[in-house]
Structure formats: C-alpha cells, structure tokens
Amino acid sequence: MTGRRESAAYVVPESLRGSPGTPKDRREEAFFNRVDPDPEWLTNSQPGKAMERLEMAYTAERPEIKRVWGARIAEQAQQLKAAEQAEPVAAKSVGDITVAIKEEALRLGFDAVGIARFHRTYVYSNYRGLVRFKNLIVLALERATEDFESQILSIDYMHMTQQLMHEGTEMMLELIAFLGARGYRGQVVAGPIGINMVKVLPYAEEAGLGQMGLNGQLLSPYFGSRWHPFALSTDAHVTPDGPRDFGIPTLCDSCQVCVRRCPGRAIPNLRVHWRGAVKNKLDVEKCVPMLMRYATCNICTKVCPVQKYGLAAVAEHFEATGGEVLGKGTEELEGYTLPDRGYQGVGALPRFDKDEARIRYDLLDQLPPDIGPWVHQIDERKEPS
C-alpha cells in the first residue's frame, strides 16, 4: 500500500521485468549473521565512528543541529520508552488487522506502509535480543521534491532530516497508541535519531516498498530514495506483504548515472554476491568523506531519474525508446554545484587530494575526549513474544 500515490498505478514494462526484491540465499545470509554479525554502523564501525566524531568536531553543521534539536529528541526518546512499556488498554481484537494498521498509518501522514516478517538476519549485533515482536510495520515519509532540490548540500537539508524524524516519531507514538487500543504492542526499531536497531532497507524491500538501487538505497517507485524510513515491531495479527518486482534492477543497470556522477567515486558499477545477497557494495572509505564535506551529500539521490521523474515516467520512456533512460546525459538530471568546487556538468567531476578523499583516522587522536556521536542507547533487553 503506497498511500497518496496508490492511484498512480505502476505496471512493470516487459523489458524491465525481473524477480521480486533482491536475489538472496537465506541460508548464506543466516550463516554470516551467525559467524560474523554486523554491528550498527554509526556507533560501532570504524568509518561510522570516525564520521560522527569528525563531523561534530570540525563542521559547523552538526553542533548546530545538536543544539537546535537535542532537547526535542531527548524528550521524544522518553515518550517512546513510556509508550513501549505501557500495557495495552484493551483486549486483543479478533482477526487480522493489517488493513486497519495501513489505513491508520496513511491517515496519520505516512506516505507508504508495508508489513514484513521479522527475522534476525538484519538485526545489528549490538542489538541482538532487543527486537521484541515477530512482525514489522515499515513506514516511509517522503521528502518533498521542492525541499530536496533547494536544501541539498546545505545545513537546511540536515535540519529538514531532523524535522522528518521528529514528525515520523510523533506519528509512530500515535500508531503505538492505535495498536494499544486494539490490545497489541509496538516497539520502534528504526527511524528516530539514535534508534537504529535493524538494517531497515532490506526489511522495507521485503515489505514491498521498493527495490534496492545501484546507489545502495531503496528506490520507491513513487519518490526514489528521497524518503526517510521508520519501522515498528509489533505482536499484532498481520499479514506480511512480501517483496515486489518494480523493474528497478534492470533499469539501474542500464542507467548508472549515480555511478558516473558520485563526487567521491564511491559507487561501483557491478553487483556482487555479498553475505548471501546480490548487491552493489559501496566503497565506504570514499563515500564518508563526501558525507562529511557536503552535509550528507546525497548527490546519488539528486541524479537518480526515478527520484527526479518517478518510476512510471522513466519506465514508460525506457519502453518507448527501446532502452533509453529518461534524463540521462542531460544537465537537468546530472548537473550539480558543490559549495567549494563549483558547477559539475555532465562529464565533469570534482578533484580531491588524498587527504580530502579519504577518512582521516589520524585526526581522531587530536579530538577532545567529550566529542562523541549524537545518539542515545537502548538498554532494555526483551526477547520476541
């Protein structure tokens, strides 16, 4: 169910058809999750910790974001904790309530909602045992096109990200109350700042909200990767949606604009078999310096034709022209201006020296001891019921 855009029905052209979701080997995924589980990236991986600490220490944007939004986020964290610990106010309703949940989520203001079965494959290792329930409600808030175009590469973009997180958190609190009034519980597992217990994009794909693009992001057929994901675990009686085929992998292989236009050259043009799934493995060491330098960058979203024109228009053009990608090779789609490097037209990319193009881990030793990532930790361990 895709909310306000459901009326714009999308039919996958024959030339783009493939398989639902992402090709996966479940046994291999489970094996890697058991013997080499992934920790949560920002607070536990070396590149993630470096990015958070260096941003807080050396850019104006992060301290300003923390100052403006810190108290609000802390207040919401307490509200979420209270909501998740509250007892349901009614006996469990009889029957499947999938439709009711989706209708309520859309009424509250989410732009897309889907249901996925929870499994431990995509739980970060430092949050094992914390996801309480066996189903996930996966939700999306779109970032409006005009906001995205005007705010990208600036502190305004970062403020809007926090605003989306705040609005989504308020809606999730209401959705938890909605579940409680029907005898069920909800637990936030992804979306608000500091709550990143699961790899939400693979679950979103399994909930039918889109397919993974070459840029490592989930592309919605309605707004590309110009959206923010949220997820609730719940014990409600619901029916999972399952992954869908939108034709995105075939389209991405023909497009590759994000590959060619990434300022950090961090996006390869080849999918590989990685930890049980066929995916495009981004070069984090090249991506992170761009995230730090350009207010979370997002050039790969800006130059994506699915984000710019919508999948229906791109697919229709692809089919009508025998494989031409709408906007590819044009300044309208591919051109962008970097604050310190100027306009980058089609065929042009910025140049960086070695220190600019890599993560400076050596600088971490020079930081004050009180500089740390801006997150709160979840400490209540409960097994799924």
* pLDDT the model gives residue 379: 45
Whether residue 68 is found in the same domain as residue 208: yes
* pLDDT the model gives residue 131: 95
Do the domain assignments include residue 136? yes
Q: What angle do CA 116, 118, 123 make, to 5 degrees?
A: 120
* pLDDT the model gives residue 385: 42
* pLDDT the model gives residue 383: 41
Whether residue 226 is found in the same domain as residue 264: no
Q: Residue ranges of the alpha helices (H) in the chain?
A: 26-35, 41-44, 46-58, 61-85, 98-108, 145-151, 155-180, 200-206, 248-255, 257-261, 284-293, 299-302, 305-309, 311-320, 331-334
Q: Please give the residue range of the domain that contains residue 328.
A: 248-359
Whether residue 166 is found in the same domain as residue 40: yes
Whether residue 216 is found in the same domain as residue 268: no
Phi, then psi, of 120 in degrees rounded to 5: -80, -5
Whether residue 114 is found in the same domain as residue 157: yes
Do the domain assignments include residue 25? yes
374: three-class secondary structure by DSSP: coil
Do the domain assignments include residue 145? yes
Count of the separate structural domains present in the chain: 2
Per-residue pLDDT of the chain (385 residues; tens, 9 = 90+): 555 555 457 889 999 999 999 999 999 999 999 999 999 888 788 898 888 888 877 777 778 887 888 888 889 989 999 999 999 999 999 899 999 999 999 999 999 999 999 999 999 998 989 999 999 999 999 999 999 999 999 989 988 999 999 999 999 999 999 999 999 999 999 998 778 999 999 999 999 999 999 999 999 999 999 999 999 999 999 999 999 999 999 999 999 999 999 999 999 998 899 999 999 999 999 999 999 899 899 999 999 999 999 999 999 999 999 999 999 999 999 999 999 999 999 999 999 999 899 898 988 888 877 776 655 444 443 444 4
CA–CA distance, 111 with 168 (Å, rounded to integer): 11
Do the domain assignments include residue 376? no
* pLDDT the model gives residue 193: 78
Do the domain assignments include residue 180? yes
Whether residue 101 is found in the same domain as residue 175: yes
* Per-residue tokens: 27: 């046994």
* pLDDT the model gives residue 264: 96
Do the domain assignments include residue 4? no
Q: The pTM is what?
A: 0.93
Whether residue 188 is found in the same domain as residue 263: no
User: How many other β-carbons are positioned within 10 Å of the β-carbon of residue 70?
Assistant: 14
Domain boundary (234, 268, 285) is at: 234
* pLDDT the model gives residue 244: 96
Whether residue 192 is found in the same domain as residue 254: no
b/e 95-108 (16+ beta carbons within 10 angstroms → b): eebbebbbebbbeb
* pLDDT the model gives residue 66: 78
Do the domain assignments include residue 367? no
CA–CA distance, 366 with 363 (Å, rounded to integer): 5
Domain boundary (185, 207, 234) is at: 234
* pLDDT the model gives residue 1: 53
Whether residue 87 is found in the same domain as residue 132: yes
* pLDDT the model gives residue 28: 96
Bridge partners of 115?
A: 137
Whether residue 222 is found in the same domain as residue 307: no
Whether residue 210 is found in the same domain as residue 283: no
Task: Provide DSSP, 114-164.
Answer: EEEE--GGGB-GGGTTT---SEEEEEEEEPPHHHHHHHTTSHHHHHHHHHH
